[in-house]
Structure 1
Amino acid sequence: MTTVTSPRAVLGVVLPSTNTVVEAEYNDMRPPGVSFHTGRIYIADENLGSDGKMESFLEDLRTQIGTAVRDVVTCKPDRIVMGMSAETFWGGAQGAAQFESWVGEQSGLRVSTGAAACKAALEAFGARRIGVITPYQPVGDEQVRAFFTEMGFEVAAVRGLAVDSATGIADVTPEQIRQAFLAVDGPDVDALVQAGTNLAAVATAAQLEAELGKPVIAINAATVWHALRAEGITDRMTGYGRLLAEH
């Protein structure tokens, strides 16, 4: 529903309790008359130091996510926006579709996920061959690779930063993010894309686009873009990359 302070859209954002980047970056990109309201998924153990620990983290998340969705729906948002990444890619194309459908059933609302948003963003640019960066362990990288491959993209390279804790992802520096993007770039790569919503990549991605002359898509920018456009909000915003400025 719309409100006095948010006459254009009220968006419910679901994110892990360990995440400190989504709210900051989303609000940087918030157009007038739109508001974001969060439901936080309780995470008991933030350890991501191995493939097994990452899988345990996601199992913990799955047991708690329904509560976060339940809670944020009480503010009567127009749409659910998933401010989390790994789970939206997990299981490839089929897993991503099932997850989106499940959140829709739990909330009774339309849903924007990071995986669907990145796919739509790449299609908006006509990109086919891509380089991908993540903060994940190898098990997560392979899920992201599988999703994009099954969606018809050619994944030239994936660079996982293997950050060992969920909160630690927010400590990755702009220079580390920049170097990761450059490591998966090449003359035959059409676009670069980033997964991992606690990785503060929007500003770095926008800067690299200007330098490289190709799309560099940060997942938080893509997800905000997807949600806004789906709600009929077509404002063009500069400073956050070509996606929000041109599409």
Structure 2
Amino acid sequence: MNADVLGWRCKFGVMGPSTNTVVQPDFDMMRPAGVTNHYSRIFTPNADAVSNETFRAGAELIGRNTLDAVRSVMTCKPNHLVMGMSAVTFFDGAKGADRFVKEVEELSGLKISVGSHACTAALNAYGGVKRLAVLSPYWPAMNTEVARYFGDMGFSVVRDVALKRTSWTAIAETTPAECVAALKQLDGDDVDAIVQVGTNLSMVKLAAMAEMWLGKPVIAINTATYWHALRARGIEDKVAGCGTLLERF
């Protein structure tokens, strides 16, 4: 059987919220030759009053709609699935992440890379990382879930910043200056690495630059997820300009 002409090494099926405008260009920016990304939009009403109380319910709605997006993208015969939304992969700690992965893999018959476990794999690749700071566009209630997950995986979250974006599309309107201010607030001698979660927050290039001036790993979740997907398929290409994770590991 002939290989796909453009995706002759691998075709990724990517599921992301329909409100998300960052994952698709981010993943395409990191794409090696012979690998193609096929975006399947998870229907997501653009809630315009996201709050601490409503965040989880809104994110869980996206999670429930994920399987429809999986069924849709499966028609292009992808080789591997990639989850382009991170919140649902942190709910209920490590058990919740495993449950989500199992549900998608049983439906599709394919392996999937998800943000939570990809970040764990990335942190372990660097080695010697135990104490984290976390940056998110979320609300404090969701950051608690993120900290719980990392605790289950053997890390401790020393501090976190929740940018409290009030709509799903507002996440992508966060400026680099706002992200830099948050990184400065998070950094300290008591932190081994900084992890940014929330896939609609544009941080791939900024995280790569921040590693240079902070002198420690700064992991953007889109970088970690795409790196994980590439390596899961045995694609070892190094990608320049997107941080040490893709350049070294």
Please indicate the TM-score interval, normalised by the length of the shorter structure: over 0.9
Query: What residue is the counterpart of 1:198 in the other structure?
Result: 200
Instruction: Supply the distance in 1 between the matched residues of 2:115 and 2:197 (Cα, whole angstroms).
Output: 8
Moved more, 37-46 or 155-164: 37-46
Rate the CA distance shift 1:191–1:168 in 2: closer, same or farther, 3 A: same
Query: What residue is the counterpart of 1:16 in the other structure?
Result: 17
Mapped contact 2:15–2:70 kept (Cα < 8 A): yes
Instruction: Supply the distance in 2 between the matched residues of 1:169 and 1:185 (Cα, whole angstroms).
Output: 22
Shift of 1:12: 0.2
Aligned length: 247
Alignment equivalent of 1:244, drawn from 215, 227, 246: 246
Quick check: 1:234 aligned with 2:236?
Answer: yes
Mapped contact 2:14–2:84 kept (Cα < 8 A): yes
> Equivalences for 1:146-185 in 2 at 5 Å?
146-185=148-187
Query: What residue is the counterpart of 1:122 in the other structure?
Result: 123
Instruction: Supply the distance in 2 between the matched residues of 1:106 and 1:162 (Cα, whole angstroms).
Output: 33
> Equivalences for 1:1-247 in 2 at 5 Å?
2-47=3-48, 49-126=50-127, 127-247=129-249
Shift of 1:61: 1.3
Three-state SS of the structure 2 residue aligned to 1:26 is helix
Instruction: Supply the distance in 1 between the matched residues of 2:11 and 2:76 (Cα, whole angstroms).
Output: 9
Shift of 1:2: 4.3
Structure 1, unpaired ranges of 5+:
none
Shift of 1:139: 1.2
Shift of 1:161: 0.3
Shift of 1:178: 1.4
Instruction: Supply the distance in 1 between the matched residues of 2:132 and 2:64 (Cα, whole angstroms).
Output: 33
Q: TM-score, normalised by structure 1?
A: 0.97
Structure 2, unpaired ranges of 5+:
none
Instruction: Supply the distance in 1 between the matched residues of 2:248 and 2:108 (Cα, whole angstroms).
Output: 31
Moved more, 53-62 or 72-81: 53-62
Instruction: Supply the distance in 1 between the matched residues of 2:60 and 2:195 (Cα, whole angstroms).
Output: 25
**Matched residue type, 1:84:** M
Mapped contact 1:170–1:199 kept (Cα < 8 A): yes
Instruction: Supply the distance in 2 between the matched residues of 1:231 and 1:176 (Cα, whole angstroms).
Output: 35
**Matched residue type, 1:106:** L
Instruction: Supply the distance in 2 between the matched residues of 1:23 and 1:2 (Cα, whole angstroms).
Output: 23
Shift of 1:48: 5.0
Deviations 1:128-147 (A, max 9, x none): 11111000011111000100
Instruction: Supply the distance in 2 between the matched residues of 1:238 and 1:45 (Cα, whole angstroms).
Output: 34
Segments of 4+ in structure 1 off by > 6 A? none
Sequence identity percentage = 47
